[in-house]
Every structure is written in structure tokens, then in C-alpha cells.
């Protein structure tokens, strides 16, 4: 019995890594099909298994596509905290900030027009 428990404990990290990669992969496929809620779900599952910059960056992109800019920004910041030198995350975050600025500008113009 002790051997079985020991072997299970040895295999858990490998299982966790496989599940992480599988969820990340499924999320990427869903995002390519613009199934953003499914993509977000998969990226969240991946982040629960392993807190990586890639998982948080992908969650940020999904939140952004769903129009939840507040959560997107939180995820971008978490991704950058995990990997501050990552050029892709920096670029995505810069594009996001520009989009957010434009959206706020449009909302401001609409309010003035009313």
C-alpha cells in the first residue's frame, strides 16, 4: 500500500503537467475558433494547475475579447509579474492599453453627445 501511495505521489506532477498542457492547448484551439468563454475556461483550468505567465497572458486575451477589461488587465499584470521580460506579454499588454484608451475615448464622446 505504501508503494502505491508513493508511486502516486511521484506521478502527480507529471499528470498535473499533462493536464496543464492539455487545457492550454484546448484553450488555444477554442480561441482560434473565437469560442472565448470556452478558451477562458481552459486557460483558467491551466492556471489552477500551474501558475504560468503563458496561462495568465492567454486568460487576459480571452477576457479582453469578452470585453472584461478590468479582469484582462489584472491577468496581464499577473503574467508580467511572473515573467517581466516576456516580449510577447509586454506587446499584448501595450496593445490592450491602447485599445482600452480608445474604448474609453469613444464612451466619453457618446456621453458628451447625449
Question: For the chain, what are the domain ranges?
Answer: 2-113
Q: Taking Cα atoms as reference points, which of 68, 78, 77, 75 lies closest to residue 100?
A: 68
Q: Give the fold, CATH level 3, of 2-113.
A: 1.25.40
pLDDT digits (tens, 9 = 90+) for 29-83: 999 999 999 999 999 999 999 999 999 999 999 999 999 999 999 999 999 999 9
Neighbours of 57 (CB within 10 A): 24
pTM, 2 dp: 0.81
DSSP class of residue 100 equals H
pLDDT at 112: 80
Amino acid at each position: 500500500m505504501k508503494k502505491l501511495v508513493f508511486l502516486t505521489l511521484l506521478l502527480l506532477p507529471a499528470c498535473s503537467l499533462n493536464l496543464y498542457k492539455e487545457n492550454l492547448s484546448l484553450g488555444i484551439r477554442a480561441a482560434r475558433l473565437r469560442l472565448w468563454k470556452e478558451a477562458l475556461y481552459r486557460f483558467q483550468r491551466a492556471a489552477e494547475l500551474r501558475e504560468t505567465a503563458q496561462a495568465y497572458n492567454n486568460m487576459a486575451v480571452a477576457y479582453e475579447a469578452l470585453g472584461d477589461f478590468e479582469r484582462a488587465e489584472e491577468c496581464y499584470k499577473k503574467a508580467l509579474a511572473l515573467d517581466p521580460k516576456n516580449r510577447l506579454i509586454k506587446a499584448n499588454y501595450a496593445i490592450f492599453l491602447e485599445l482600452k484608451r480608445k474604448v474609453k475615448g469613444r464612451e466619453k464622446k457618446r456621453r458628451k453627445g447625449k
